[in-house]
Amino acid sequence: MAEEEETELSDDQKKGIAKWFLVNAPAGEIQYVSRDLKLVLNDDDVYNEAASEAFPVYNKSHLISLTMPGGFGDVLVTSYGELQDNEYLDPKTAQVAIVDHVKQACTKVRPATDEELPSAYVEEYRYVL
């Protein structure tokens, strides 16, 4: 019998596998999966790249809610409220939350500009709902 040769995975392959595990973590369990994955990978650079790409996808697909500093309340991390990569609009308070996806925390809050807020027509319906 021929012996099978073990091949080392490339960093891109490791990153792809790590992203798959992170994105497909059960609801509310991504921090546990990421901790274990970091130990298994034993490569901070590969882990950090995978986490920076996977956490935003996970957070938006699971509609996580984060507490905003300053007593403004909570903001939902969704693709609907996303203004930029790490900025999410809370229309109720007219605030924009800056989110650290990997830590799953809201780091800063700033007032929303007029261009970022919904029109008065839309706001009337949002308020009623």
At 78, which helix (H) or strand (E)? none
| CATH node for 9-61 | 3.30.1140.60
pLDDT of residue 92: 86
Token pair, residue 37, equals 């994955």
Quick: pLDDT tens for 90-106. Answer: 988 889 999 999 999 99
3 confidence band (pLDDT: 50, 70, 90): low
pLDDT of residue 48: 96
pLDDT of residue 123: 67
d(CA 101, CA 88): 11
Domain 63-129 maps to which CATH number in 3.40.50.2300, 3.30.70.20, 3.30.1140.60, 1.20.1250.20? Answer: 3.30.1140.60
d(CA 95, CA 91): 7
Every domain of the chain with CATH number 3.30.1140.60 lies at 9-61, 63-129
**Across 37-51, average pLDDT:** 95
**Across 7-36, average pLDDT:** 95
**Across 29-33, average pLDDT:** 96
Quick: pLDDT tens for 60-83. Answer: 999 999 999 988 899 999 999 999
